[in-house]
Amino acid sequence: MAGKIIAVKWGYNPNSSSLGVDVTFLLFGMAAISFLTPLVSLFLRGRKPT
């Protein structure tokens, strides 16, 4: 699919005092981008534009 995914912000932040960011994927280093990109692309394709 053309174009690229620039960033993914996972989950909802319930904390009302600051922006909480999921850092769990830092465990996988740059490999996180390699394995998450096709996965996220799949989910993007599975939805219809509104």
Partner 1 sequence: MRTFRYERFGGIVQLERPRALVFVDRDRARALGYRDQERWLQPPPEGELGLLSAPLEAHLQLTNRCSAGCQGCYTGASPDGAPQEYGESDWRRVIDALAAQGVFHLALGGGESALLPWLGDLARYARARGLVPNLTTSGLYSDHELERLIGWAPLFGQINVSLDGIGDGYRQVRGVDGFAQADRAIVRLRKVHKFVGINCVVTRQNFDSLAEIFGYVKKRKLREIELLRFKPSGRGRRVYESLRCTDAQHRSLLPAVLKLARRHRLRVRLDCSYTPMIAHHRVKPELMAWLGVYGCAGGDLLVAAKATGALTACSFAAPTEVRADRIADYWQRPDAFSTFRQWRSSEEPCRSCDYLKLCRGGCRVVSAHTLHDAARPDPECPRVVDFRAQQPVRLHLPLVADASANANANAND
Write out the residues near partner 1 by the rule CB under 8 A.
Answer: 1-27, 29-30, 32-33, 40, 43-45, 47-50
Among 48, 38, 28, 31, smallest CA distance to 4 is for 38
Give the shortest CB-28-to-partner 1 separation in angstroms.
9
Measure the CA–CA gap between 34 and 10, rounded to whole angstroms: 16
Q: How far is the CB of 30 from partner 1 (least distance, A)?
A: 6
Q: What is the DSSP letter of 11?
A: S
Q: How far is the CB of 50 from partner 1 (least distance, A)?
A: 5
